[in-house]
Amino acid sequence: MSQNTSGQSSSTNYSNAQNSSSTSGGNNENQVLTRSRLQDLVREVDPNEQLDEEVEELLLQIADDFIESTVNASCQLAKHRQATALDVTDVQMHLERQWNMWIPGFGTDELRPYKRAPVTEAHKQRMALIRKQMKKF
């Protein structure tokens, strides 16, 4: 992917990104995750583990599909906001909304708001019972 020369180091021309992701089908030179890198990752998790060739192929294909779908969806977000460049926030928004993933260290440095878990009715009843018991003492 070529970097945009408009001064934004975190943006890429999204038409180039779409073209490169759609033409990469099966070319090992364009793969982000190579077979040797996958084997390195497996060794980091368990030095004694060895993946079958079919499993490696499947994992590489899943990684390629994930990257391609992320790039395409991010480009659609950039196109929707009528931008000529793909920005980190487009990728972040897609990953967070579709995959519930947040990659720290990229984009804005603002703190994400803490989302409280929804309180169930059973929890409310238990808390009411505890408060009632506490009042007796």
Residue-wise pLDDT for 99-114, tens only, equals 888 887 776 655 556 5
Q: What's this model's pTM, rounded to 2 decimal places?
A: 0.59
Task: Mean pLDDT check: name the lowest of 6-10, 77-81, 108-112, 129-133.
Answer: 6-10
pLDDT value of position 105: 77
> In CATH, which superfamily holds the domain spanning 35-107?
Histone, subunit A (1.10.20.10)
Q: Where are the domains of the chain?
A: 35-107
Residue 77 three-state SS: helix
- Do residues 5 and 12 touch, judged by C-beta distance below 8 A? no
